[in-house]
Amino acid sequence: MVLSALEMRDHRRKNRFADYQDIITSPIAPGVSILAPAYNEGESIVQNAQSLLSLHYGKFEVILINDGSKDDTLQKLIAAFQLEKTNYAYFSEIETKEVKGVYKSVNSSFSKLTVIDKENGGKADALNAGINLSEMEILACIDVDCILSPESITRMVRPFMEETNRKVIAVGGVIGIANNCDIQDGTVTKYRIPTSLLGRFQVIEYLRAFLMGRMAWSRINGLMLISGAFGFFKRDVVMAVGGYFPKTVGEDMELVVRMRRYMEERKIPYKVGFIPDPLCWTEVPESEEVLSRQRNRWMRGTIETLQLHKEIKMNPKYGVLGTVSYPFWNIFEKAGPLFEITGFIYTIILLIIGDFSAVYFFALLLMMYLLTLMVSSFSILYEQLSYNNYKDKKDLNRLILTILIEPFLVHPKVILWGLKGHIDFITGKGGWGNMIRKGFKKAEDRKNIVTQSQES
Amino acid sequence: MKKLYFFFLSLFLQSLIITTAAGQSPQSLTDSTAFQDFLIKQKEIQGLSVRFLIEKSDFTDSIPGDSIFRFAETSPGLLSSVEITQFGNFPKLLDTLSALDPTWEFLIFSQPSTFIATQEYVANLIRNGDIQELSKEIAPDKDLVLLASNFQYVPFFKYKLPFSSDYKLFIVVAIIAFFLISASVMILFMVIFKAKKNKKEQLMKDYEPLIAEALTAILFEKEIDEIKGLSEAEVLAIFPAGLLSRPLFQSVLIEKIIGLNKKMKGDFKDKLKALYQKLGLDKVSMANLHGKRWDKVATGLVQINEMDLIEALPEVKKHANSPNFHVRTQAIGTLLNLSEKMDLTFLKDQNYPLSSWQQMNYLRIIKFLYPQKELQMLSLFDSENQSVRLFGYKLVRLIGRVDLLENLEKSAINAPDDEKIEIIKTYADLGAYMQADFLNRCLLSENPKLQQAAAQAIGVIGNNESVPIIENLLKSQPDFPMKMILLKSLQKLDSNQFEKFTGIQTDIDTQRIKRHLLDPLLNHV
């Protein structure tokens, strides 16, 4: 909490002296390639592409990757943007599934837009195809259905331009929750909290994760995860490590860890930055079924990434990454559900054998509950002080109520979904079990691994 | 009652006999009274019970508590109760039956037993440790109070509080207390902080119309000389009493004046500056330069820059090499903007590397100043600081100083490869055809980055000698990206030769690249 507060204070002080208008037109500002994979996004793809093309920045290109959609995603793009298939000499520097065509518009108003049509290979594979085609210095990897603020590029590019003694290899941003909010011209104009408990729970969870967790990690340069929905990366480093790894469901986290390993192994001073300003919004799942699948995937992604990079575990050679971030993720993110379910089973056993101490049980329960309340309430107050987006008092009251009931009504479900992720990993769901268990000896090992395109 | 006394008397007598016989029976069993007390205190002894006996003739239909005794005829004319195993309420039961004149007998494992046998049975149980004498109290040999008085009192702290002796529980409760206190303090802090912030915002809102009104009146009603000639009393009278000395009011006022200054031109700008100084706000800006917090210093620098406070330049200069990135950036920006004599020579001696962010800021100022004064851009080429040299090469390109190409050529001779790459970009952008030989040499470099930069530039400023070099490189099987660049440059340099070359080279990559380069839709890619 202290670290995140300090980081936020510094960020807000720095913001006072930043003239973001300069970046838009300056020839010194780096170019940005926006990569947005799309799979069966026919309903909203045109609107999303238009929104991306209208971002306020001078030097940028938008690369949409149609990842073998079964709907009319490609046809809609062709019609809306007057696209034609080109003779683009696509070179698979990072190997991907087959690229069927590269499309450009005959209308010069859409000259910034490129569309790649390829065989379905998953998000990571689609992003790799986009990376191969990209020509700019910075890669902005986003989810195509995300709403980006017009200022998003200028704000996210700043850390890449500011550092002098360290190379900024990646910058993460906050993902805001757009459910139930009013949106106009790519910005949320009126914030409201979601109507469902699951939605409200995710608002609190996102505040905790982004405003507190990632800000604190950023303070000690220990960030291991940049959200796949909104992350900026230095292209040369991404290419050097071989792009995204398509064999894991946690491709966003895995790439950041591998890029960091690469820099640590070469002893190049580097930084992974984080911008807490609200610049990107997405709709979060409010149905239990979809949310459980998402959490299951996140858990498997975490386990797979930690497994792939077990070489760095408690290894002082990897600095903060190996000695702080990795153990933290291993204990609290990966093993958290295991600890909690073990505690639950142990309590049941104590009850059965009659060795149960009600005093200790309730004391510990109270302790954990208070800790949760403390952290959650801090994150809300923190948001109120920093951005004050949820202005309606009723919204605030409902958030506070959610804080009070969430540990009993939602948290147990999250634990169970996490456990299901563990089970799915152990039973080898996804089919990459053996290879992932073996792990990478070096960051660049990824380049030597035969991936989907060669196997299929 | 008579029978009860008789029972205890008989117990007493029998116990006397036992004591004499056994000799080693416990003290509590020595007589019938002691045995009775013993049984009552023990309440229950395993295997031992007692039952009451009454004459059938004494039996009436309404015996009190018959549900407990449940008398039944066990031998002619004699009724027996059920076995009683709880001795604690024995006297009470006897009292209930006193009118019937009952007798009783002991039973060991439901078998009738004599008093002596019963006593022996109980004594065995005690000896074997099967039962503990609840009634046993060890009488001290000496008076404890007297013994205690021989020792000085020492308090035994360990178990003073049972709570603190359970250290695990103590830790848990301490953590709970810590969380509670921390949470309360934090929330309290936040609430106070937010209340203060809201109050501050409200005050700022209140100040704004006051300031706007006063500034409008002065700017439109007074000439610059009148503003300069305002007396102290007149200045203080501009705003409601006491407001001008408040730091928050000063801060809003400064912001408002700077905001107006950015939008205004000519006379109004001069009036605003005069008013700024008359109100003593220049002193506030100067004081900021001595602040301990970097953001305060940077704020002071921004204010000085915006209000053209030339008199503050010596102080500003002190911050030009500040270890803080933001302070350094603002100080250099201010110096470049305000100093008549200031040129880029001071950048030459910068110790810290220039970030892209700083370069972007300086470029904006330099672009504005370049037509007005001599900036000594050349001096940057000789800096010890590589980032400054690179910025210098970039400036030549971005400002279009073709006249400096000659100097650039001299610098390029001994420049390291990454500087050469920047110089090549400048050559290409400015169309420096005379540098084609230099590019041809760089094309043969072993550094792939330099080779790539030269290959890109040679398409624009290459010469006849460049074509065979490109062709030779293409024949040496470069990787795909390099092949693409080389073919693109060849196409730009000599389209006939490009057609000829790609006509001979029929490998897939060359043909794909050819189709790519000839595709009109991809010309801008």
pLDDT at B66: 66
A353 touches chain B (CB under 8 A): no
Chain A positions in Cβ-Cβ contact with residue B357 (cut-off 8 Å): 158, 161-162
Q: Is the pLDDT of residue A452 over 70?
A: no
Mark yes or no for CB contact B187/A381 under 8 Å. Answer: yes
Q: What is the mean pLDDT of residues B251-266?
A: 86
A236 touches chain B (CB under 8 A): no
Q: Is the pLDDT of residue B472 over 70?
A: yes
Q: Of A91, A360, A385, which has the smallest distance from its Cβ to B172's Cβ?
A: A360
Place of tokens 């031992």: B48
Q: Is the pLDDT of residue A197 over 90?
A: yes
pLDDT at A405: 94
- As a whole number of angstroms, the distance between CA A326 and CA A307 comes to 11
Position B347: which residue type? L
Chain A positions in Cβ-Cβ contact with residue B516 (cut-off 8 Å): 86-89
Beta-strand ranges (E) seen in B286-440 are none
Axis-axis angle for helices B32-42, B115-127 (nearest 10): 50
**What value, to the nearest 5°, has the Cα angle with vertex B328 and ends B376 and A169?**
105
Contact yes or no for A116/A102 (Cβ under 8 A): yes
Q: What is the mean pLDDT of residues B131-151?
A: 68
At A345-382, the pLDDT tens digits run 999 999 999 888 888 888 888 888 888 888 898 888 88
Position A329: which residue type? W
Axis-axis angle for helices A358-386, B167-221 (nearest 10): 10
Chain A positions in Cβ-Cβ contact with residue B300 (cut-off 8 Å): none
Q: Is the pLDDT of residue B263 over 90?
A: no
Interface probe with A: pick from B191, B255, B356, B515, most Cβ of A within 10 Å = B356
Contact yes or no for B104/B132 (Cβ under 8 A): no
SS3 B22: helix
Q: What is the mean pLDDT of residues A420-445?
A: 71
- Mind spelling out the 3-state secondary structure of B127-183? HCCCCCCCCCCCCCCCCHHHHHCCCCCCCCCCCCCHHHHCHHHHHHHHHHHHHHHHH
Polymer length in residues for chain A: 456
Nearest CA-CA distance, residue B195 and chain A, Å:
10
Q: How many CB pairs under 8 A join A and B?
A: 125
Contact yes or no for B39/B82 (Cβ under 8 A): no
pLDDT at B65: 56
* Average pLDDT, rounded, for chain B: 83
Chain B positions in Cβ-Cβ contact with residue A30 (cut-off 8 Å): 356
* Domains assigned to chain A: 1-27+147-456 (no CATH), 31-145 (3.90.550.10)
pLDDT band at residue B158 using 50, 70 and 90 as cut-offs: low
Place of tokens 């693409």: B484
In this structure, what token pair is assigned to residue A272? 């992974």
pLDDT at B163: 62
Least confident of B146-155, B267-276, B500-509: B146-155
Position A330: which residue type? N
- As a whole number of angstroms, the distance between CA B278 and CA B323 comes to 33
pLDDT band at residue B19 using 50, 70 and 90 as cut-offs: very low
A365 touches chain B (CB under 8 A): no
B504 touches chain A (CB under 8 A): no
Q: Of A84, A162, A384, which has the smallest distance from its Cβ to B325's Cβ?
A: A162
A91 touches chain B (CB under 8 A): yes
Compute how many other C-beta atoms are within 10 angstroms of the C-beta atom of residue B291.
13
Q: Which residue has the higher pLDDT, A235 or A18?
A: A235
- As a whole number of angstroms, the distance between CA B96 and CA A157 comes to 99
pLDDT at A266: 94
Chain A positions in Cβ-Cβ contact with residue B169 (cut-off 8 Å): 359-360, 363
Q: What is the mean pLDDT of residues B32-38?
A: 79
At B274-294, the pLDDT tens digits run 888 888 888 989 999 998 999
Mark yes or no for CB contact A23/B360 under 8 Å. Answer: yes
Q: Is the pLDDT of residue A387 over 90?
A: no
In this structure, what token pair is assigned to residue A412? 């147990």
At A136-174, the pLDDT tens digits run 999 999 999 898 988 899 999 999 998 888 999 999 999
Q: Is the pLDDT of residue B313 over 70?
A: yes
Mark yes or no for CB contact B172/A364 under 8 Å. Answer: yes
Interface probe with A: pick from B357, B429, B523, most Cβ of A within 10 Å = B357
Place of tokens 């604690």: B88
Q: Of B176, B190, B356, which has the smallest distance from its Cβ to A370's Cβ?
A: B176
SS3 B386: helix
Q: Which residue has the higher pLDDT, B233 or A63?
A: A63
pLDDT at B228: 82
* Average pLDDT, rounded, for chain A: 90
Q: What is the mean pLDDT of residues A77-101?
A: 94
In 3D, which of A405, A170, A197 has the Cα closest to residue A284? Answer: A197
Mark yes or no for CB contact A27/B298 under 8 Å. Answer: no
- A31 DSSP assignment: P
- As a whole number of angstroms, the distance between CA A107 and CA A84 comes to 10
Q: Of B176, B298, B513, which has the smallest distance from its Cβ to A89's Cβ?
A: B513
Q: Is the pLDDT of residue B516 over 50?
A: yes
Mark yes or no for CB contact A87/B364 under 8 Å. Answer: no
Percent of chain A surpassing pLDDT 90: 66
Percent of chain B surpassing pLDDT 70: 88
At A313-343, the pLDDT tens digits run 999 999 999 999 999 999 999 999 999 999 9
Q: Which residue has the higher pLDDT, B18 or B509?
A: B509
Please report the sign of the dihedral spanned by the C-alpha atoms of residue A68, residue A72, residue A73, residue A74: positive
Assign 3-state DSSP to chain B and report helix, strand, coil percentages, each to 5: 65, 5, 30
- As a whole number of angstroms, the distance between CA B230 and CA B279 comes to 10
Q: Which residue has the higher pLDDT, B348 or B65?
A: B348
At A50-80, the pLDDT tens digits run 989 999 999 999 999 999 999 999 999 999 9
pLDDT band at residue B139 using 50, 70 and 90 as cut-offs: low
pLDDT at B25: 53
Mark yes or no for CB contact B521/A104 under 8 Å. Answer: yes
pLDDT band at residue B18 using 50, 70 and 90 as cut-offs: very low
Interface probe with B: pick from A4, A17, A114, A396, most Cβ of B within 10 Å = A17
Q: What is the mean pLDDT of residues A306-316?
A: 92
Compute how many other C-beta atoms are within 10 angstroms of the C-beta atom of residue A366.
16
Residue of B nearest to A376 (CA): B183
Compute how many other C-beta atoms are within 10 angstroms of the C-beta atom of residue B265.
7
Chain B positions in Cβ-Cβ contact with residue A374 (cut-off 8 Å): 179, 182-183, 186
- As a whole number of angstroms, the distance between CA A132 and CA A118 comes to 13
Interface probe with B: pick from A367, A385, A396, A404, most Cβ of B within 10 Å = A367
ipTM: 0.86
Mark yes or no for CB contact A14/B326 under 8 Å. Answer: yes
Mark yes or no for CB contact A17/B176 under 8 Å. Answer: no
**What value, to the nearest 5°, has the Cα angle with vertex B182 and ends B180 and B184?**
65
Distance (Å) of CA B407 to CA B349, B388, B393, B411, B412: 19, 16, 10, 6, 9
- A9 DSSP assignment: H
Q: Is the pLDDT of residue A394 over 70?
A: yes
- B435 DSSP assignment: G
pLDDT band at residue B45 using 50, 70 and 90 as cut-offs: confident
In this structure, what token pair is assigned to residue B257? 């004046």
pLDDT at B325: 86
